[in-house]
Chains A and B, each alone.
Chain A
């Protein structure tokens, strides 16, 4: 097991290197200039821009810049934001907690919807409940989050005036008032993300449970005279969840991707909105760092999924 883990970790290194090369090249080839604003402002002499470009080494060839970045990264230096003139790791660390809270809650919400609805629908396949659940699930994962987000704003903020649509990380209140304000402003982003994810998982849970429920050992359990509740919870769901857990882990990175758009719509100050503003400002070190964080997450969650799978299902062995 530990040998397997080590091998997987070693394989991760070249793939991360490859990802970083691709990211860096694409960013270097993309049009735009981090000091564009300096160029269009008549009051700033061109020498300032030239000096800044030289200071940040932007005039060097791509190869040189890449290796400089790589060496710094290995030494734990994430780089320096051209636009904010602060270290990138500080920027990311200040944005990460909000993203984690919003994403974490939305995943919990998604599971809370997907598990009961999926299992219940699978135990009564093609019933009215199953049909309705299926339809909603289908609608749910077909609608992109930016669309449902706007729809929610239109309905709950503008027409009904119940919820604020601008997320403020810092609220002037203590105790319950603070909690209430945070709860109110988090409802919409969490629901938008949670419903989208929940819809996809509902269908997956349903089909996974349907696969298991037809197996012989379930029939055996039933014929032993076990109550239906025990059969479902102890025998069916437990086994049906093995692929679901893997799927949840595998989908985490794409959840981060979906959060980028949602964060922008609700002005949630997470790393997604940091990425968007960095892209708009051509702030290469920040773009590089954030996308690299996403890449690491993909690799990490892939690994986690593999390990979880083996742990949950001892029939699978590592070699």
Chain B
């Protein structure tokens, strides 16, 4: 099926000449999965029934008592423009709302916006240079002031000022925001921008009130009293805040949606550790919901057996993967190792990389280490489903790895280790100290041994490994080892930012203080070209195809080996209904949380 035919079919669905179901069936026949087909429809302007993205909200009245949530790291600040970590973003999200949020399936859901901009409703410009947001007219701040386009424009002015030192500056500095009328704003881009849903959307788009912050733009931003006593638009309004310990909200009686919120108050308690947080929900039922449970699946299963609560697993784009250094970590050039001016003596050989990828037993890693918290995957880019490549496969095959190495001329020496031209297949494999990672290292080391590859295991304290300390040689961005493993996170439902990790201009080096994102230091002209094309491609279907190609290029090169996906794991009591999403904050739809009776 070619692209034109696809568009013809999608138009027919839009015009009502073909049912959605028939379309999905046709797509399945040509090998496209159902979620992907629905995504295509969404992009062609056929909005999916709302029930598809967001579960139905059933309560018909308010007054549901208190909901108690436990975070093993408490929120430390409540200004969304200063909130770096998810714990702080979640704390802010209790009281503030963005124009739109991301649902679990990677589609946008309007919150303060009246509708999601599209080509059809003239929200999106045909040339991709602007997006026009229509705002709800019935929204009031918690202090009674009306919400309007001025507030939205103010957030842009506030965040883009470098002196404010907001962490959201990246989303706002390169755009221009214009007030069209009191309830319409237009975001203008410098160049055609297919991914327009960044500013004012989700965790970086929470809107703070102009009337409270207008005197605190720039250097005195930290003195704003509202930083600690937020005044927002959300379903719960501020009650109490103890940094690092407790955030409390009470129901907003004037919320703009009927019967919402369900609960009279919400309490988020911080501190402690993940295992006991899981215990407090699953075993003792002291709390209703526990966030981010990076706990071994076996423990979770045991706690779940108490029958009080369940573990929620929400798929996102985070992935645990292995990098094979493409530069030489053992030669120093101009004061840096792993310099882009060198090439790795053996890992630059595609045969060696292929063999290593065959030596990773992903199934055992999934079954015995990560469980439900880490399904094995062949792709680097796994979600949203419309960007998932169907072309990649993986297998664990030691015999085949041996065969490939034999053919490539890597012969076993007297010590059993393969070598060619004086270069031995001996590697240092580093990762952070974390029990599942050390177990994975062991599994790979043992398999490699049977193929004549010697792996020396190294583990670095997490606070050093993930630090940006320029003076420390053991950070993951310096990559002074042959192989390394960690989790990279995908913070948006769009893969553009995620896939720039293999562009040649992102290579980490001494020059950019190792802040470049291409840590494996892999270079490929075709990849660079395809990425540039994807950046400017306005046709969503073609753009998805470009990202799939990017995934296939990097995974196919075997310079990285994807291991397991890392979905978001949380726990909640059986009666609690909480719509969650991996593309947005935990509290992105807190207004829809309720307790079933």
Contact = CB atoms under 8 A, between A and B. Distances in A.
Contacts, number: 146
Contacts of A108: none
Interface in B445-504: 461, 463-464, 466-469, 472, 489, 491-492, 497-498, 500-501
Nearest 4 CB-CB pairings of A with B? A39-B468, A269-B245, A84-B76, A267-B271
Contact of A48 (B170, B280, B461, B497): B170
A40 B265 CA distance: 34
A70 interface: no
Interface stretch (B133-141, B236-244, B328-336, B363-371): B236-244
Interface of B: 66, 70, 73-74, 76-77, 79, 82, 84-85, 162, 165-167, 169-171, 204, 222, 227-228, 240, 242-246, 248, 265, 267, 269-272, 276, 279-280, 283-284, 286-287, 461, 463-464, 466-469, 472, 489, 491-492, 497-498, 500-501, 512-513, 515, 517
Interface in A31-69: 31-33, 35-49, 51-52, 55
Contacts of A32: 463-464, 467, 469
B430 to A, nearest CB: 15
Contact of B272 (A41, A44, A267, A281): A267
Q: Is the interface of B mostly helix, strand, loop or mixed?
A: loop
A229 interface: no
Nearest to B72: A267
B246 A269 contact: yes
A265 B246 contact: no
A50 to B, nearest CB: 9
Contacts of B77: 83-86
B497 A42 contact: yes
Contact of A273 (B82, B271, B280, B517): B271
How many A residues are at the interface, by size bracket?
35 or more
A265 B275 CA distance: 11
Contacts of A47: 162, 169
13 contacts: A31-B469, A39-B467, A41-B84, A42-B497, A42-B517, A44-B170, A47-B169, A84-B243, A86-B227, A165-B280, A166-B287, A169-B246, A170-B240
Nearest to A82: B76
A172 B283 contact: no
Nearest to B514: A39
Contacts of B167: 38, 41, 44, 48
Contact of B515 (A36, A46, A153, A161): A46
A19 interface: no
Contacts of B276: 153, 165, 265
Interface in A142-191: 153, 157-158, 161, 164-166, 168-170, 172
Contacts of A165: 276, 279-280, 284, 286
A169 B469 contact: no
A81 B88 CA distance: 14
A108 B283 CA distance: 33
Contacts of B84: 35, 37-38, 41, 44
Contacts of A158: 279, 283-284
Given A41-B491, A43-B492, A166 B498 contact: no
A221 B464 CA distance: 67
A172 B466 contact: no
B497 A43 contact: yes
